[in-house]
Structure 1
Amino acid sequence: MAPHKFKQPPQAPPLFTGTPESVVKDTKEMLAKAKKVTDDIVAKTSEKDASFKNVLLPMAHDENLQTLSAHILGFYQSVSTDQALRDASTEAEKLMDEYSIDASMREDVFRLVDAVSKQGEKLDAESQRLLEKEHKSYIRNGLNLPAGPKRDRFKEIKMRLSQLSIEFNKNLNEEKGGIWFTKEELDGVPDDVVDLLKKEDGKYWLTFKYPDLFPTLKYAKNTETRRKVFVANENKVNQNVPLFKEAMLLRDEMARLLGYETFAEFVIEDKMMKSAKKVDEFLAGLRSRLADGGLDEIKTLKALKRKDVESRGEKFDDRYFLWDHRFYDRMMQEQDYQLDQNLISEYFPLQTTIEGMLKIFEELFGLMFVEVTGKDRDSISPTGKGDDIVWHEETQVFSVWDGEGEGSGFVGYLYLDLFPRQGKYGHAANFNLQPGFITENGTRRYPATALVCNFSKPTAKKPSLLKHDEVTTLFHELGHGIHDLVSRTTYSRFHGTSTVRDFVEAPSQMLENWCWTPSQLKALSKHYSTLSDDYYKAWKDSNSAADKPEETLPDDLIEKLLKTKNLNGALFNLRQLHFGTFDMTVHEPKSHEDIEKLQISELYNHLRKDISKLDGPEVLGEGDGWGNGQATFGHLMGGYQAGYYGYLSSQVYSTDMFYSVFKADPMNHKEGRRYRHTVLEKGGSQDEMKTLVDFLGREPSSKAFYEDLGLE
């Protein structure tokens, strides 16, 4: 991607100058202003005079303004290097959640909203959706319960659930665990990984962060090393175990207070699936289609393990363990498909891969990305200091514009924070920093969005290199970022990825297909040795007998890679099915007593064995309580509770969209722009099924999903 010329954006980027003191102070001031807006509406408006314009609209405008600060105040806890600032950000989130719960249960406001709802005003479609969602949210927050003990208890539960979620995720972000290993115990793990580990007294400190964890599980030849890492990772935040159990109990109690049979019924009622029964049927149907394929894949992998173990003069145990899978899945790629993921990664240096991805989005969606560096940062910073518009020195900033064909207007800001550090969010995710919306005076407010990832850091001899699955992860998260950037909604409530949970992953999952398209793999790739003379020399020193590598990913490697797209795909999807099934099981007990008696860790591990058929420590006599994987699973504590099935249902939608519209020509500009305007722009401003039907021209189908897996 040739660099575009910098031009001054019409809107300054957000500032990241918060201090532990200012974050809490600013939060309290923001919430006090919001309360005054609501109090004034109640004081000035009677039920008979209530209208969308004097009740809903001022609250919506206030909500829009709150989001400009609120998301960033809560964001510091995921990215700041300052423990005190992370703690203050956590406290800010707690204050915001408490205020939100209070506000969502104000009977005086509900009466006004209810009056507006009953009037049947003629509103534009998005305003009508806002009214309906707002009205329903008050009911779902207990306002149909009689004032008194039941409603008070409901509020207590909401408050406690907020506290539990914050504490749970803080424990995950602050996790500092690891294991000391000798060099011999790490035999097989790439030197690039080992060289970056802390070393003391001849041993290496291996953390549970992704850049340490995954390569060890993939490459460590020592079975015991892999077992130790896997089991310890499943037990890295055991202080979350009671928090998770308490949350399950409170969610169940809350749903029953509102008259629902289960928490799952309560959550899914306003999602695309509409009912827990439909979700259970979807998951059961998927399991029946995948089960035999999973067993066949294990049989093949077991044979590979037998051959490997016996070649080392060891006795084969006739087991295929959870900690075996990444190792032998990788070995199968190398032996049966002659695919070396380390060799593949040499063609995906992080920065050139990002440039390639942005170029794809430029061509497909009519966008333009301009990296903002040096003095240009100073020029767009409201303070005149470029350092003030980023939260860490490694953060990259892009101003995003429409291309000429789309009008050349400003779109928003994109941030990339790509490497691990202490206290940082440990996975890969997209965070909205400021949503877009229409302001009170009718002008557009532009969004800012951030990708927070944990890729391996560059070394003196190599840049950061991405495995193909990391390329796919980056494309997926950048897809969320693009959704966030190009959304054009009136209200911040519906901006970008603010859709129902069982649709939100579909747009990003669809874009993952570009990582399996030969022309796009070619366009994305660039061998790291071509980036500088020093890199070439370092490569040559390690590959003295090899010919100079091709500049882009060679056709034979692309062909081998494509053959592995659904390699062990049944096992991959059965893993997702385990998560989704566990999530539904704990959220739809037959009675409250059942969830009280439920041994959740045992259930998590039992379901994993039952669904995936991979062996765990339970077959070694350790019982089903050997690990607490659910305690490491932030999604189920905040955001995807009774909704993890959405990753699978979204995959059905995303595959349908790709096969129907893009498979024949992934870089079809006309369809890319139609997708941008028909799907991405809408955010959550209309029913998501309508969005899908408008784009596909029909109801979605699961045919392409099963065809892609080779099951159709």
Structure 2
Amino acid sequence: MDQNTSPIHLPETAEELRAITLEVEQLLQQSADALVSVPEGQRTIDNTLLKLQQAQSEAAARQTRCTFPQMVHLDKDVRDAATEAKKSLQKAWSLLFSRRDVYAVLSQLDENQISDPQIRRLLQHTLRLFKRHGAALAEVEQQKLMTLRSEISGLELDFQKALNEDTTEILLSGHELEGCSEAWLSGLKRAKKEGDDHGALYYRVTMKTPDILNISRNASLPETRQRVATTYRQVCTGTNGPILDRLIQARHEAATLLGYSSHAAYQLDINMAKTVDNVESFLDNITTSISGKLASDKKELLALKKAEYEKRGWSQKFDGKLNAWDVKYYQEILLSEKYAVDNSLLTQYFELNNIRDQIMGVYSKIFQLRFEQIPGKYWADDVTLFAVYDQKAQNDAGEAVKKDPSAFKLGYFYLDLFPRPGKYSHQCVVPLRPSYINSNGERVLPVAVNVGNLSRPTADRPALLKHSEANTFFHEFGHVCHAMSSRARYSLFNFSWAVVPYPTSLAMDFLEVPSIMLENWLWEPTVLKRLGRHYKTGDELPDDLINSLVKTRKVIKGLLFTQQVAMSVIDLRLHSIDPQQRTQSIAEFWRETSEGLVGVTLEHGPNVNPACQLYHIVTGYDSNYFSYAWAESSAHDLYTRFTQKTAPCSHERTRALDGKLGREYWEKVLVPNATQEPIELMRDFLGREPNADAFQRYLTEP
């Protein structure tokens, strides 16, 4: 790793990682000891609350070096050590917020005597953390809670580790992969199949995102799609099934110890939604609103399936059902036949490096930022590093100040975009270091990483993205900018989530709002024109293809959204009822609930359990999967500001590229992070009370 340019240096060895872990644990313990050692008559906000927060900020800035390697490190020994370190550090943070003596000191502070609103909020949220760790419970009950929390942490990490380290693959022949592109096939490894005396070479198909998506969208033989889909749904069921059973039970026990009726009630208490009833009502309203669209979507895809079976002479095999392994395949056919969108052609205009640069260009324009790549070698050869600068502030500054660009640096982010063995196999942004003011009064700059799993380039072609992948990239980059935007004094108010052990105050059902709002840009013709360049010819994305693509935004949206609602309902119900009262296994419950709500037949067979591949259920989205739909409702409301036609660039269809409005969004919605309640940020930007009108129009209008 380049020691000169990288703001974060991951440990080279397991021993180095363990040493850093011990340092962080000692820092947290010593900070708590120092707080209670202050004589009672000498205690102030500065030498108790703020001193403790300073130590927390420093611990947060260091600890990701010990935990993040679990997701990306090339050395399995280091990944394993990082898994154990994360368990240790989660326990260390939990021990800190379980300290009854520290809680007793902080609870004596009078928030009414604090004039600074950010410090007052810091006290409120810090006390909340202690209460949620049982510091206000009787000692015996708190000990039970701490034991459960330690077990929960270990179970969650073991679940993730099993998925990260999974190497499941199947061998498929060229015939079985009929319909898949030569470009994708050329990137697959080949192998002989045991028992095949002819020595033929088969394609090795993994259960990682790029392979799963290519099969589900393009493999024309239903048997192939079903086999791959079923194999994927069997991944890690032997390990993660028992883990999940115990995890849900332990979460319920911990929540009831704290006086909550369920784990869902415990989780939602600190979110915008607040209660299980509110979330259930929200999800019921969506289901009702899109029921007609769901029925028409399924009918349309089933008609395509029947027509294909008749065309290929498979009429006797037609089962009259829409299966899980049918949906993406017939969606592709629908896009091609009805909307003239050929995704294999479209991907040729979405070459990864160009998309990356153009997305940064769009974000630069709307938020008035500047991105600069920093050459160097990091934890893997294909990882890149960028610095982010506040271009508006630099433009507005005096000439003397402008000469020092570092004064306008906002932070750093890495891109780690391709799959590899042992790597986290989903898409996310991980905050590696929060922004805060250190003990010297200096701003510590935030660092984040976009962890992706996109198709790698091959010998004869670069990495090419589908529009959906470009959309995901754009979404994740919104999280990067959210992480870069913070100007909070304290790390507790930064963009963060449960993938890192240090605490955050950002509501989970607001976490996705800014990025989902920004997804609208990937449906704007002006933006698509900027993004699309043919990887061979350099030609712009043609207008007719742009227009066709824009028309597809709501294609089978009723079906896709109902699938999302079904997963939200499953997650919520698993965590809102006493597991001892549930008569079905998780796999049975998942299948019955999903098929009942969506009407699509799921994969079946021995050891099939879709919950065992769901990272979200162990990375902080437990009882919070609904937050994607909730965030979409808020995002559509926020986007109404960008569709108003009183813009300086009113010749455009929307104000998507209006830098003045984009900067207002940056300042009012992103920069505050968790220093204010999410509803206040939305009110400030909208100039009114938020509502669901725009979301309802999106769900119900053609």
Give the TM-score taking structure 2 as reference length: 0.92
- 1:589-641 deviations in whole A, cap 9, x for unaligned? 1x45314x4411111111110111111256xxx6xx76211111111112111
Equivalents in 2 of 1:303, 1:598: separation in Å?
34
Contact kept, 8 Å, 1:372 with 1:398, in 2: the verdict is yes
- 1:38-97 deviations in whole A, cap 9, x for unaligned? 112112232x54332111101111111112211222111111111011011111111101
2:389 to 398, 401, 404: 401
1:33 to 27, 34, 37: 27
Equivalents in 1 of 2:607, 2:546: separation in Å?
41
Instruction: Indicate the residue corresponding to 1:137 in structure 2.
Output: 129
1:628 to 590, 609, 617: 609
- 1:137-167 deviations in whole A, cap 9, x for unaligned? 211111222112x222111110100000110
- Partner-residue secondary structure (3-state), 1:103: helix
The aligned runs of 1:250-649 (5 Å cut-off) are 250-315=250-315, 316-373=318-375, 386-387=376-377, 390-403=378-391, 404-405=394-395, 407=397, 409-497=408-496, 498=504, 499-530=506-537, 551-589=539-577, 591=578, 593-595=580-582, 597-617=583-603, 627-649=608-630
Contact kept, 8 Å, 1:253 with 1:592, in 2: the verdict is no
Aligned-pair CA distance for 1:406: 5.5
Instruction: Indicate the residue corresponding to 1:659 in structure 2.
Output: 640
2:153 to 147, 152, 162: 162
Equivalents in 2 of 1:670, 1:455: separation in Å?
33
Structure 1, unaligned runs of 5 or more: 1-9, 374-385, 532-550
Contact kept, 8 Å, 1:186 with 1:221, in 2: the verdict is yes
Equivalents in 2 of 1:354, 1:653: separation in Å?
27
Deviates more, 1:118-127 or 1:701-710: 118-127
Contact kept, 8 Å, 1:449 with 1:484, in 2: the verdict is yes
Instruction: Indicate the residue corresponding to 1:672 in structure 2.
Output: 662
Contact kept, 8 Å, 1:662 with 1:668, in 2: the verdict is no
- Partner-residue secondary structure (3-state), 2:134: helix
The aligned runs of 1:120-131 (5 Å cut-off) are 120-131=112-123
Aligned-pair CA distance for 1:708: 2.1
Instruction: Indicate the residue corresponding to 2:66 in structure 1.
Output: 73
The aligned runs of 1:156-235 (5 Å cut-off) are 156-201=147-192, 202-235=201-234
- 1:483-519 deviations in whole A, cap 9, x for unaligned? 1112211111111345100000010001111100000
Equivalents in 2 of 1:68, 1:155: separation in Å?
25
- 1:632-660 deviations in whole A, cap 9, x for unaligned? 11111121111111100000011111123
Equivalents in 1 of 2:81, 2:277: separation in Å?
42
- Partner-residue secondary structure (3-state), 1:120: helix
Structure 2, unaligned runs of 5 or more: 193-200, 398-404, 497-503, 645-653
- 1:254-308 deviations in whole A, cap 9, x for unaligned? 1111221111111111110111111111011111112221111101111110000
- 1:446-489 deviations in whole A, cap 9, x for unaligned? 11111111111112221100000000000000110011112211
Equivalents in 2 of 1:264, 1:711: separation in Å?
32
Instruction: Indicate the residue corresponding to 2:500 in structure 1.
Output: none
Change in CA separation of 1:66 and 1:18 when aligned onto 2, cut-off 3 Å: farther
Contact kept, 8 Å, 1:447 with 1:484, in 2: the verdict is yes
- Partner-residue secondary structure (3-state), 1:371: strand
Contact kept, 8 Å, 2:493 with 2:673, in 1: the verdict is yes
Instruction: Indicate the residue corresponding to 2:81 in structure 1.
Output: 88
Contact kept, 8 Å, 1:366 with 1:405, in 2: the verdict is no
Deviates more, 1:321-330 or 1:35-44: 35-44
Percent of aligned positions that are identical: 30
What amino acid is the match of 1:197?
A: L
Change in CA separation of 1:294 and 1:367 when aligned onto 2, cut-off 3 Å: same
Instruction: Indicate the residue corresponding to 1:102 in structure 2.
Output: 95
Contact kept, 8 Å, 2:186 with 2:458, in 1: the verdict is no
The aligned runs of 1:52-67 (5 Å cut-off) are 52-67=45-60
What amino acid is the match of 1:668?
A: D
Equivalents in 2 of 1:61, 1:578: separation in Å?
42
What amino acid is the match of 1:79?
A: V
Deviates more, 1:469-478 or 1:257-266: 257-266
1:682 to 664, 672, 675: 672
1:700 to 683, 690, 693: 690
Contact kept, 8 Å, 2:27 with 2:59, in 1: the verdict is no
Change in CA separation of 1:592 and 1:627 when aligned onto 2, cut-off 3 Å: closer
Equivalents in 2 of 1:237, 1:419: separation in Å?
22
Contact kept, 8 Å, 2:432 with 2:446, in 1: the verdict is yes
Change in CA separation of 1:225 and 1:457 when aligned onto 2, cut-off 3 Å: same
- 1:372-406 deviations in whole A, cap 9, x for unaligned? 12xxxxxxxxxxxx43xx21111111111111336
Equivalents in 1 of 2:459, 2:164: separation in Å?
28
Contact kept, 8 Å, 2:331 with 2:556, in 1: the verdict is yes
Equivalents in 2 of 1:279, 1:317: separation in Å?
36
- Partner-residue secondary structure (3-state), 2:536: helix
Equivalents in 1 of 2:573, 2:562: separation in Å?
16
Equivalents in 2 of 1:39, 1:18: separation in Å?
32
Equivalents in 2 of 1:481, 1:265: separation in Å?
30
Equivalents in 1 of 2:470, 2:535: separation in Å?
15
What amino acid is the match of 1:19?
A: T
Contact kept, 8 Å, 2:229 with 2:603, in 1: the verdict is no
Contact kept, 8 Å, 1:400 with 1:411, in 2: the verdict is yes
- 1:340-386 deviations in whole A, cap 9, x for unaligned? 0111110010000110000111111111111112xxxxxxxxxxxx4
- Partner-residue secondary structure (3-state), 1:528: coil
- Partner-residue secondary structure (3-state), 2:108: helix
- Partner-residue secondary structure (3-state), 2:204: strand
Equivalents in 2 of 1:99, 1:217: separation in Å?
43
Give the TM-score taking structure 1 as reference length: 0.90
Equivalents in 2 of 1:99, 1:420: separation in Å?
31
Tell me how large the CA RMSD over aligned residues is: 1.7
Equivalents in 1 of 2:655, 2:447: separation in Å?
30
Equivalents in 1 of 2:8, 2:579: separation in Å?
46
Aligned-pair CA distance for 1:326: 0.6
